[in-house]
């Protein structure tokens, strides 16, 4: 059984004060730092490149969970790995652009964790050929591209379907995670929770992360509430 992991999304942080934002959520008890990379093509928004990941890595002590919402992960995987990403996830929806299995194995071959993500309207059955090469599946509970969207409960059966397919790795939920939605996600079998506004917008980030962890533990029956999952 995987531990509960709270992964604040830096997309919701104050980028003019990024070092302090990273240190703030780490001292508040987060497990991973989630980095949303968007290319303005796969999704309409544009965020940042490897140089920002490198800058974050210099001040971070927690693993960097990098989510590539880009059309060509084959071209950019190594720059993001070189910059310090500890986990690298890309989207199954771009599978026609190259050899998905080969890229997943390449990520692992570099000593990092590999992941695939699915949009809300994509079936997890498309992941079946790659399960043996995956450490993590990231399920989007909003459509990728912008923060602050409403959680879509309709994606929850995908978690159970993944387990039924025999996937034993980590399952992450990204989009609209808050105290009001995390329990349903945990009950379905999710163990990694990407939370942007819910953490960075909280008056007391330590209390908020503790609250999210407690709710996830209670709903998922995942053991002691003081256990953190800050490794990979």
- For 120-163, the pLDDT digits (tens) are 999 999 999 999 999 999 999 999 876 667 899 999 999 999 99
Q: Give the CATH number of the domain where residue 47 resides.
A: 3.20.20.70
Query: What's the whole-number mean pLDDT along residues 167-174?
Result: 97
Q: How far apart are CA 65 and CA 226, in angstroms?
A: 22
Residue 228 is assigned to a structural domain of this protein: no
Closest CA to 31 of 86, 97, 107: 86
Residue 13, pLDDT > 90, answer: yes
For residue 187, pLDDT beyond 70: yes
Domain span at residue 30? 5-220
β-bridge pairing 5-8 and 192-195: parallel
Report, as an integer, the average pLDDT of 198-223.
91
Residues of the chain above pLDDT 70, percent: 94
Domain assignment present for 227 = no
Helices (H), 133-196: 157-164, 182-188
**Quick check: 168 pLDDT over 70?**
yes
Number of domains present in the structure of the chain = 1
Mean pLDDT across the stretch 50-77? 97
Active site residues: 36, 174
The pLDDT of residue 18 is 96
The pLDDT value given to residue 150: 86
Of the pLDDT bands very low, low, confident and very high (cuts 50, 70, 90), residue 1 is confident
Please give the pLDDT value at position 144: 80
Q: How far is CA 114 from CA 10, 105, 134, 156, 222, in A?
A: 20, 8, 5, 22, 23
Instruction: Indicate the average pLDDT of the chain.
Output: 94
Rounded to an integer, the average pLDDT of 4-20 is: 96
Interval 43-55 mean pLDDT: 95
What's this model's pTM, rounded to 2 decimal places?
Answer: 0.94
* Residue 225, in any domain of the structure: no
Give the Cα separation of 149 and 138 in Å (integer).
Answer: 17
Rounded percentage of the chain residues whose pLDDT exceeds 90:
89
Residue 47 has pLDDT above 50, yes or no: yes
Q: Which residues contact 50 (CB under 8 A, 6 or more apart)?
A: 76, 79, 80, 82, 83
Q: How confident is the model at residue 224 (pLDDT cuts 50, 70, 90)?
A: very low
Of residues 186 and 44, more confidence is placed in 186
Residue 50 lies in a domain: yes
**Hey, how many other C-beta atoms are within 10 angstroms of the C-beta on 58?**
9
Query: Does residue 79 have a pLDDT over 80?
Result: yes
Please give the pLDDT value at position 27: 98
């Amino acid at each position: 059984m995987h531990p509960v992991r709270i992964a604040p999304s830096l997309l919701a942080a104050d980028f003019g004060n990024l070092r302090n934002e990273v240190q703030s959520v780490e001292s508040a008890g987060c497990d991973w730092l989630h980095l949303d990379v968007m290319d303005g093509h796969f999704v309409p928004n544009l965020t940042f490149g490897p140089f920002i990941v490198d800058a974050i890595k210099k001040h971070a002590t927690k693993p960097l969970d990098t989510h590539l919402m880009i059309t060509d992960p084959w071209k950019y995987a190594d720059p993001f790995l070189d910059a310090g990403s500890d986990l690298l996830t890309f989207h199954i929806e771009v599978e026609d652009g190259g050899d998905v299995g080969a890229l997943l194995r390449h990520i692992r071959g570099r000593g990092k964790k590999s992941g695939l993500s699915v949009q809300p309207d994509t079936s997890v059955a498309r992941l079946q050929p790659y399960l043996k090469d995956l450490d993590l599946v990231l399920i989007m509970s909003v459509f990728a591209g912008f923060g602050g969207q409403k959680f879509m409960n309709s994606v929850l059966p995908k978690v159970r379907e993944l387990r039924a397919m025999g996937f034993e790795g980590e399952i992450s939920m990204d989009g609209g995670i808050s105290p009001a939605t995390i329990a349903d996600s945990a009950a379905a079998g999710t163990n990694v929770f990407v939370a942007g506004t819910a953490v960075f917008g909280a008056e007391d980030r330590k209390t908020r992360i503790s609250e999210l962890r407690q709710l996830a533990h209670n709903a998922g029956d995942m053991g002691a509430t003081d256990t953190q999952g800050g490794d990979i």
